[in-house]
Structure 1
Amino acid sequence: MLEISPKEPVYILIPVYNRKETTLTCLENLKKCGDLQRYHVVIVDDASTDGTAQAINTLYPEATVLPGSGDLWWTGAMAQGMQYAEAQGAEYFIWLNDDCSPDSDTLSQLVEFMRSHPDTIAGPTCYTSTSNSLVKQHNAFKGRKGFAANPGEVIYADGLSGWCVGIPASVFRKIGPPDINKFPHYSGDDTYILRATRAGFKACVIGDIKVTLFGPVHPKLNFSSYFRPGLTPSATFEALFWSKKSPYRLPTLFFYQTERYGLLLGLSFFTIKLILWLGQWVKFQLTLWLRPNALNVGDSL
């Protein structure tokens, strides 16, 4: 009788919502790399309506699908996944976005690095693919400077982006899950790693470990896409500055600036950004009233 080796106490946590084909591509890559068989893969599906959960259960029954409420967003999904994995006895978490494709040995190298460097959070170097080459993306920061690691480098950082990050379970046991109230979607990743490094953990990005990102890497920052003929000023204001979906959400900006830079300096940065954004809102609102066809409206609402 063929014996199945027990999986390592490593939990790959993938938040998903209505991107079935992207999610299935991610899982297929994990299967080809052997990570689906070696580690526990947990999908937090935030009430997708495109059949994501059903497809995963059919095609990849070895993965665990946790249902979400429909209002988890990125941070809530990761928090739920971490809480589940901790209860199962996880020693390490790996955050992985479903539009992030690790190389065949990326995740095993992250785990090995964390085992040989206790209390250290580890991130690979992230690339986007162009027609002719791979382009490094900044996925770490120290102070106000963002950076990526070159091959052969291990660079320590204050915080990391959450595309793909290995996190020892000791981090969760000391500081708890990411803050779903202050950072429901944007900035839930880098502020969590920042909180961990301030609590005494180390974080680094490793140049010899690689993942490739596909699809849009950063949210499209485009004020005009929030304005449509017929929408009231209050509707555009709420969608732009209050919705959890928006990268311009003011509560997130306030908490991000004050947590990263301290109350006084952070409040100054927030006020400057607030004035600039409100000026843009007034400009586009007036344009919508006076010349509605001049705006290149989108679907950000």
Structure 2
Amino acid sequence: MKIHCIIVIYNGMRHNWIKKCFDSVLSSSIPVNIIAIDNNSTDDSVKYIKENYPTVHLIENKVNKGFGGANNQGLKYALENGGEYFFLLNQDAWVDPNTIEELVKISSLYPGYGVISPIHLNGKGDALDYNFSNYIKPDKCKNLYSDFVLNKIEDKVYESDFICAAAWLVSKKCLEVVGGFNPTFFHYGEDDNYVHRLKFKNLKIGVYPKVFIYHDREGRDNSQYFNPSISNERKLLLEFSNPNHSLNHKKELNIIRNKIIKNTLLFNFKEVDRLKKQKDLISKTFQQSIHNLTLSKEDKSYIFLDFNIL
């Protein structure tokens, strides 16, 4: 059984992340091949990996291809080299020795789950990662909180609505059915979109609570990708690219056009201006998504992405 751990690197020398991450994977209780994809780091990440981890397969990008795009490169290489399980791990995260082995074991028992994630702790390991705690609330992950409190955690996968891709075990079946990440989402949103498509293909995502990772992201500055303009575009794109929703860009644009006409007749020009900006944003976001998907399909960089979901 061939297991590949795929790690996207971007300036990973901070806080000794690369060493903590790579050493933990190489100390796993089961053999794991590491594929590292460097997104044109400006620090010594590439040099450090070459000098200290000669067994790691390193892909060096001359430009930053984003989180999803770089993961696709690693997944493609892993598939072409006989991969059966694919563990996606953030550069700022690390695992316990038994984490990957136990995830693989439980995945083989639950073929209906395309993605299974461990419990995400913070970097110190003394609390749940805050964002992860929101993914397993009772309305999003039935019984997990309750079973923890009552000390009756079952040795099973708990289904969840969503888990971020900081630590995903992806099965080969899932890759063959769902494909890779949508490269339209350069940074953030790619895992949301992937989960939408996974569910559309009648697969599940869940948590296996017997194993852990440590995600060192406390105290980091907010990313530029969370500024209001980019966040709004990402939100709209997630809606339009979700195959589980009946909503589509043409239907939404027609609704907005009717509102513009109505508010124009009512001389409510402030609302008309707001609606026009929203219409332009929807058009721009949708057209950009189609443009990016077309380019990625033509250059064959993401050949196993399912292009029939938009």
Please give the TM-score of this superposition, normalised by the length of structure 1: 0.69
Structure 2 unaligned spans of 5+: 257-273, 278-310
Output the CA distance in 1 between the equivalents of 2:219 and 2:100.
20
Aligned length: 240
Letter in 2 for 1:24: K
Output the CA distance in 1 between the equivalents of 2:141 and 2:112.
22
Cα deviation, residue 197, structure 1: 2.2
Flag the 1:130–1:40 CA change in 2: closer, same or farther, 3 A. Answer: closer
Which of residues 191, 194, 214 is equivalent to 1:192?
194
More strand by share: 1
Letter in 2 for 1:212: Y
Which of residues 228, 234, 239 is equivalent to 1:257?
239
Letter in 2 for 1:262: H
Cα deviation, residue 76, structure 1: 0.7
Output the CA distance in 2 between the equivalents of 1:55 and 1:141.
34
Q: Cα deviations across residues 136-175 of structure 1 (Å, max 9, x unaligned)?
A: 5454859995459455253212332101010101111122
Residue 19 of structure 2 aligns with which residue? 24
For 2:218, what is the secondary structure of its paired residue?
coil
Flag the 1:145–1:124 CA change in 2: closer, same or farther, 3 A. Answer: same
Flag the 1:119–1:84 CA change in 2: closer, same or farther, 3 A. Answer: farther
Output the CA distance in 2 between the equivalents of 1:117 and 1:263.
30
- 1:135 and 2:128 matched: yes
| C-alpha RMSD of the superposition | 3.4
CA contact (8 A) 1:138 1:147 kept: no
Residue 169 of structure 1 aligns with which residue? 172
Cα deviation, residue 206, structure 1: 1.5
Output the CA distance in 2 between the equivalents of 1:29 and 1:92.
18
Output the CA distance in 2 between the equivalents of 1:255 and 1:141.
21
Output the CA distance in 1 between the equivalents of 2:108 and 2:62.
34
Residue 207 of structure 1 aligns with which residue? 209
For 2:54, what is the secondary structure of its paired residue?
coil
Letter in 1 for 2:111: P
Residue 46 of structure 2 aligns with which residue? 53
For 1:160, what is the secondary structure of its paired residue?
coil
Cα deviation, residue 71, structure 1: 2.6
Q: Cα deviations across residues 193-252 of structure 1 (Å, max 9, x unaligned)?
A: 23112202122112212111113388727xxxx7xxxxxxxxxxx99466xxxxx34432
CA contact (8 A) 2:140 2:161 kept: no
Output the CA distance in 1 between the equivalents of 2:82 and 2:28.
24
Q: Which moved more, 1:258-267 or 1:203-212?
A: 258-267
> Whose RCO is larger (CA < 8 A, sep 6+)?
2
For 2:78, what is the secondary structure of its paired residue?
helix
Aligned-residue identity in percent: 18
Flag the 1:23–1:42 CA change in 2: closer, same or farther, 3 A. Answer: same
Flag the 1:108–1:255 CA change in 2: closer, same or farther, 3 A. Answer: same
Output the CA distance in 1 between the equivalents of 2:11 and 2:27.
23
